[in-house]
Structure 1
Amino acid sequence: MVIASGGASLFNLATGEAVWEIDCPALGGAVSADGRLLALRSNKDIYLWDLSTGQLLRQLTGHTSTVNSVRFSRRGQTLASGSGDNTVRLWDVATGRELRQLTGHTSTVYSVSFSRRGQTLASGSDDGVVRLWRVGF
């Protein structure tokens, strides 16, 4: 997978050929552990794509500033996002509904990551603090 400001391309590593390309402004993204879903972050929004078909599934909206990081939970049912609006948000992947908004950082959130078991989410911010959140997924 290659992600650039103009979109993303999925490559067959054995042949080097592009399997599919999507034209979606993207700043970065994450692939689910099972390799079925792609979350692309672009400005304030997140786009969920089906990697088997290359089809857009849904757009997640709610952040009020640039989304800087996205990560799937291990089972791929939940997506976490960190933003310049100083929040971490948890999303239901199946519906696109915002599950929870985690507040406490006083500056831009640049990274989010689930623990191996998915019970804890770590977020790193420009405020110099790494927060651990009990999320229970």
Structure 2
Amino acid sequence: MNIHKNAKLTPSGRALIMERYLAGNAPSAIATSLGVSVVTVYKWLRRFREEGEAGLTDRSSRPHHLQTTESPGQVEQIKQLRKQRLPLWRIAAKVGLSLATVARRCRALGLNRLPPLNPPEEVVRYE
């Protein structure tokens, strides 16, 4: 992780909290000396108790999983209705999803534009 220049606590600062706590200092005194809140000190103490040294490192803010709002049956229904050249707002009303969700799914399926839905017409040339 990249730590910005004004960060109050880096992994070494969090280790300093543990050292001072294990040396017998009160959490309020540790918080005052490091310029953080008492709640922050207790948070890092709890993480250290639960996870050990690994709990003092930075964590990713990325979500563990993303919510999917549509079922596979709804995706198939969107696909079939779009191939019938229905507008996105009408598909959204029929399927029961938001317009943004239907538009996102159609774009993922490659069905967001109507001209690609029609096969190219053959050129008839007379000789």
> Which structure's relative contact order is higher, taking Cα pairs within 8 Å and 6+ residues apart?
2
Structure with a larger share of its residues in strand: 1
TM-score, length of structure 1 as denominator length: 0.18
